Structure 1
Amino acid sequence: MTSPPPVAAAASPLPSPLVARTVEVDDPGPLLALLHRDTDAVAWVHHGDGLVGWGRAASLSVDGPDRFDRAHRWWREVTRHSVTRDEVHVPGSGLVAFGSFAFADDGRGSSLVVPEVVVGRRDGRSWVTVVGTSISSPPSLTPTDPPQHPHGVELVDGSVDSDAWQDVVAEAVRRISAGQLDKVVLARDLVAELDTPLDVRSPLRRLARDYPGCWTFHVDGFFGSTPEMLVRLERGLVTSRVLAGTIRRTGDDTRDLALAASLARSSKDLEEHEYAVRSVAEALAPHCSSTNVPDAPFVLHLPNVMHLATDVTAVLRGDASALNLVAALHPSAAVGGTPTDAAVALIAEIEGLDRGRYAGPVGWIGAEGDGEWGIGLRSAQLEDEGRRVRLFAGCGIVADSVPADELAESQAKLVPVRDALA
């Protein structure tokens, strides 16, 4: 796939070094309840813990095939010229930036944002970080007015309708059967039209409530609740959760246990999962030692679906940051395919969809390079000043894939955000 020339990075001016101060505070309650509407709100929440923020002390917009490297260099310069007073010293305290990146090298919308205020909670400890050009006092942390819930929502087909998308899947199966590649991940979208601009705090709260085991996120109008951790770097320990192979839940516990067992034995899903795990382990190898890959996946139970899952762990070798690891891992076979170059080229050729930041990395990075980055799945993008929302889902296609089954799987994956807009 031919990529356009890199787009010049655009950063907010930094006339003097940033000053960040972190202090411990009493538990402020639900983190998402602290967010105001229309304040550059950002979020990264898992089981009630995590980070939320607002305001914009500094930011970067960067696109092109070298977007991760340029973001890493920009963040390194920001932290080098900043002064941090951190009284908490846990992952997520001190100076942090939130980010999300386009899936494709020619995609648009990649950004890093340093909020003016960040509130965090982890393992029973809570803190607030204030960022600016001088030391300032932390704000009062009280719940804001309840969000306005969506109304007048109308869902319509996105770039490719259901019938045409099944034809795209069939074409991918034909290419795979012809030996051109082993696996490709194909995405589709739905469009929600709203009467009034969406208050993104409403779907965020519902996603965090209904899917507490996922990472609920929002950066620059891109939001969702992803079950897949692309990479976590914490004091030298690297973790990546790989999901590939999916089956829809029925709501009947006995039936779901039987379905979980069938998923764990499915040759099609095990093959798809093996490709994804192998791609992650190979990508981490140049940066890590003592890599541990379990012999078999486990079944991850979510409220709407079940996935085959594997947690790959390793020890960092050298001084790579979380963004360096993100660059090495993206796109994994779980969101691109195998071989990666052939799969990404096929996506560009037949998918008929501008993914934007769907299936791209989203998360945060700290001043020391640690951070957490998920894959932007179960996600949506605000458009037209919030009056239009694009919902995304994708499925891994291998030689045994059946187009109608893949359509059903994609519909199951659209449920979280679709219901959050109901």
Structure 2
Amino acid sequence: MAVIDESDCRETIHRAISRAKESGQNSVACMTRKIETLDPLLFYRSARERYAGERFYWENNEHDLILIGVGIALSIKAEKALDDVQIKDKWARIQRNAVISGEQGIEGAGLLLFGGLSFDAKKKPSADWTPFGQGLFYLPTFLLTMRENQAYLTRSIVCTPEDEPELLIRRMKEHENALLSFHIDFEDEQNQLLFKQDQNPDDWMHLVREAVQVMDTTDLRKVVLARSLKLSFQKPINSERALHKLREQQSGTCVFSMEAGASCFLGATPERLVKKSGNHLYSACLAGSIARGKDAEEDERFGQILINDQKNRMEHQYVVSTVRSSLSNLCDQLTIPEVPILMKNRNIQHLYTPVEGICDEKLSIFDAIERLHPTAALGGLPRTQALEWIRTHEKLDRGLYASPIGWCDAHGNGEFDVGIRSALIQGEQAILFAGCGVLEDSIPEQEYEETAIKFGPMMNVLVGRKL
């Protein structure tokens, strides 16, 4: 199913090489064409042999936009987390010097940057997170965009002043043919769990007690504590199979995967940090959690308990107030309901408040990220004190967990969600992450149980059961 238009491709690449010669800087040739719809996971999987370690998958929680990127045309590494100026400036330079042809003005297609930032700007990445550094973004060589029953394929090539056009065209055609000529089925093979390593429950609950005690003597009102669960399997973990199961099991969430060399960070997050579409800005407040019931009656009862629980309502209100404060100066209008509703996912239900705003169409989504991250749902309140306490006391490196992960295109549109309900996969190993908000009336045993519930989505996918 080759879709390359050689005449258009040749003209675009010639123009990009000419621009590179004129400017003295590399230029991206970016070409987008509408194609027949295809299975997005098969496309993702077909790239494994040639592009292993250079793939991403993104499906929004409405399931009307899917992005799959394979190959890295160019990358941007953050020198420190949330280095907004650095990322914005480099992305702006890439766009200014790019030569774009084919379908244009399609949200999520064309020139597009995908990636994520680390949780803590002041914490050096551990060995587990080294491939991602303080943040990693890249422009994919091939981007499949599927939205509203339409499919588009974007090809991006970095052209230098010395490049030979015909060589680039021939190489692109070979890679595209291989990528789109797939005949693959998913194996449903079992992968035996060999052992698991949990953080010591007593030590973690002691940390919760410490946080509660600190709130008695300081102005710290909330701190979010996370813990990890390490799993080891008989064979390397298949990210395609994990994504397939996440799509089946976790409706209403954003399913994502990002590779960096031999590492893969993936999950199904219910929490949007920020979405920008034209002059519309969207965010979400998600805090306060309880388990799903065994039947409809119990589920309704649990939901009412959550809605009426003072601790959870206070925790949720902290998030609402910080999101409102963060976005008020960026938006001319901001709409936030007064009362939260329930968001029900397969394993857990949350208190949820949607946020909508009207902003300047030229606003960078990175400006919104810088103001929002981390919200009180992932860090605490006040933000600076909570982050310092987490940095000093938490016994793990969050890396991209609980951090912004997502995309932005050349039209100013994009979406970043929060990387929760997630796992870091490296060969046969997986590290699962879960966290909870600690307030002055938190009960350590209940907080521990909440994190156990939040391991559920990834446990179901990787193991097939809860442990």
Q: TM-score, normalised by structure 2?
A: 0.83
SS in structure 1 opposite 2:93? helix
Match in the other structure for 1:26: 36
Map of 1:66-145 to 2, 5 A cutoff? 66-87=82-103, 89-107=105-123, 108=125, 109=133, 110-133=135-158, 139=177, 140=180, 142=182, 144-145=184-185
Match in the other structure for 1:387: 428
Residue 193 and residue 359 in structure 1: after superposition, are their counterparts in 2 closer, same or farther (change >3 A)?
A: same
Match in the other structure for 1:17: 27
Identity of aligned residues (%): 30
Query: Which is further off, 212-221 or 183-192?
Result: 212-221
Distance, in Å, in 2 between the alignment partners of 1:141 and 1:315 is: 43
Residue 330 and residue 147 in structure 1: after superposition, are their counterparts in 2 closer, same or farther (change >3 A)?
A: farther
| Residue 141 (structure 1) shift | 6.4
Distance, in Å, in 2 between the alignment partners of 1:79 and 1:143 is: 35
Residue 95 and residue 150 in structure 1: after superposition, are their counterparts in 2 closer, same or farther (change >3 A)?
A: farther
Higher alpha-carbon Rg: 2
Contact 2:279 2:361 in 1 (8 A): no
Contact 2:229 2:432 in 1 (8 A): yes
| Residue 421 (structure 1) shift | 0.8
SS in structure 1 opposite 2:451? helix
| Residue 367 (structure 1) shift | 1.1
Match in the other structure for 1:156: 196
- 1:416 matched to 2:441: no
Residue 144 and residue 82 in structure 1: after superposition, are their counterparts in 2 closer, same or farther (change >3 A)?
A: farther
Distance, in Å, in 2 between the alignment partners of 1:148 and 1:393 is: 27
| Residue 40 (structure 1) shift | 1.3
Distance, in Å, in 1 between the alignment partners of 2:181 and 2:138 is: 21
| Residue 289 (structure 1) shift | 1.3
| Residue 65 (structure 1) shift | 4.7
Residue 264 and residue 66 in structure 1: after superposition, are their counterparts in 2 closer, same or farther (change >3 A)?
A: closer
Residue 179 and residue 365 in structure 1: after superposition, are their counterparts in 2 closer, same or farther (change >3 A)?
A: same
Contact 1:95 1:367 in 2 (8 A): yes
Match in the other structure for 1:329: 372
Residue 346 and residue 155 in structure 1: after superposition, are their counterparts in 2 closer, same or farther (change >3 A)?
A: farther
SS in structure 2 opposite 1:280? helix
Residue 320 and residue 155 in structure 1: after superposition, are their counterparts in 2 closer, same or farther (change >3 A)?
A: farther
User: How many residues are matched?
Assistant: 405
Match in the other structure for 1:146: 186
Deviation track 1:354-376 (CA, whole Å, cap 9, x = no partner) reads 11111010011101221010000
Unaligned runs of 5+ in 1: 1-13
SS in structure 2 opposite 1:166? helix
Q: TM-score, normalised by structure 1?
A: 0.91
| Residue 73 (structure 1) shift | 1.6
Residue 27 and residue 286 in structure 1: after superposition, are their counterparts in 2 closer, same or farther (change >3 A)?
A: same
Q: Structure 1: which amino acid aligns with 2:98?
A: S
Match in the other structure for 1:201: 240
Q: 1:354 aligns with which of 391, 397, 417?
A: 397
Residue 331 and residue 265 in structure 1: after superposition, are their counterparts in 2 closer, same or farther (change >3 A)?
A: same
Match in the other structure for 1:49: 65
Residue 303 and residue 65 in structure 1: after superposition, are their counterparts in 2 closer, same or farther (change >3 A)?
A: closer
| Residue 145 (structure 1) shift | 4.4
State the Cα RMSD in Å.
1.9
Higher percent of residues as helix: 2
| Residue 26 (structure 1) shift | 2.0
Distance, in Å, in 2 between the alignment partners of 1:295 and 1:86 is: 45
Contact 1:228 1:374 in 2 (8 A): yes
Distance, in Å, in 2 between the alignment partners of 1:276 and 1:141 is: 47
Q: Structure 2: which amino acid aligns with 1:152?
A: Q
- 1:60 matched to 2:69: no
Deviation track 1:269-296 (CA, whole Å, cap 9, x = no partner) reads 1100011111111111222110111111
Distance, in Å, in 1 between the alignment partners of 2:458 and 2:337 is: 31
- 1:257 matched to 2:300: yes
